[in-house]
Amino acid sequence: MNKVNGTCVVVTAIICLVSGSGFAQTLRDTDYFTLEAGTFVSGDKLINDIFGPHLDAFGALNKMLTDNFSVLGKVEGIYGEGSKSGIDLTRSGLKAGLSLVGLLMPGKPVDPYVLAGGLFEYNRVTASAGGADENDSDSEFGFEIGGGIEFNLEPKTLLDLGVLYQKFSDFDSIYANARIGYALTTSVTLLLEGGYAFDEEDYYARAGIAVKY
């Protein structure tokens, strides 16, 4: 990482972020919560043809246990509407997880991390026709393992690059995600986040805030 004339350059990500004087910025080695909203697009052609992009809402809470370990809870909800053959359809989903996160170099400008934890997923599709509704739902438990690196691009910006492997009873997938943060104050950070599932070809984009507490 090089800093020249107020510009932070992360060569490995081929991303240039402009920063000036301001607040030192990290997230994963602090207590914080996030609130985000955006869009989710399924890689399943049939689902995408019917519902198109879904609304996507996400929240997370990180609590430090020691300097090197934290507990991360997260929940994501999606919602989409569509129709097929004159039948109105709605699709909703919920995914929740609780993970233990290990920080390898907390407080440093480059902080690798690893995580492992459990997941719960619930999905429901509702078909409406002639004033009658029919629901089809399923739920299952799974787990995830992964890791990444958080770059503290002083003084106001951060970049977090991560990879997750998630496994459920009937499918598994590898996710890559990136998060860019810009500190508005010492406790509030503006976030832009995106991710892609290689096996399912799902992807999402969200914006929100992180608040340190």
Enclosing domain of residue 184: 23-212
pLDDT at 15: 35
Q: Where residue 151 sits, what CATH number does that domain have?
A: 2.40.128.130
Q: What is the pLDDT of residue 79?
A: 97
Residue range 171-197, pLDDT digits in tens: 899 999 999 999 999 999 999 999 999
Which tokens hold the place of 63?
A: 């609590």
pLDDT at site 4: 42
Q: Is 5 exposed, middle or buried (0-12, 13-18, 19+ CB in 10 A)?
A: exposed
Nearest residue to 159 (alpha-carbon basis) of 168, 149, 173: 149
Q: Which helix (H) or strand (E) holds 47?
A: helix 45-51
CB atoms < 10 A from the CB of 7, how many? 13
pLDDT of residue 194: 98
Q: Is residue 13 part of a domain?
A: no
Residues with Cβ within 8 Å of 210's Cβ and at least 6 positions away in sequence, in order, are 27, 32, 33, 34, 181, 188, 189, 191
In a domain? residue 5: no
Q: Is residue 3 part of a domain?
A: no
Residue 186 lies in a domain: yes
**Average pLDDT value for residue range 14-35:** 64
Q: Is residue 10 part of a domain?
A: no
Amino acid at 114: V
Strands 188-197 and 7-10, by their bridges, are unpaired
59 inside domain: yes
Residue 18 confidence (pLDDT) above 50: no
Q: What total number of domains does the chain contain?
A: 1
Q: Is residue 7 part of a domain?
A: no
Model confidence at 151: pLDDT above 60: yes
Q: Which of 20-29, 97-106, 125-134 has the lowest mean pLDDT?
A: 20-29
Provide the whole-model pTM.
0.83
Does 98 fall in a domain?
yes
Query: CA 120 to CA 74: how far, in whole Å?
Result: 11
- Tokens 């995830």 sit on residue: 144
CA distances from 59 to 110, 170, 180 (A): 24, 26, 16
Cα 47 from Cα 54, distance rounded (Å): 10
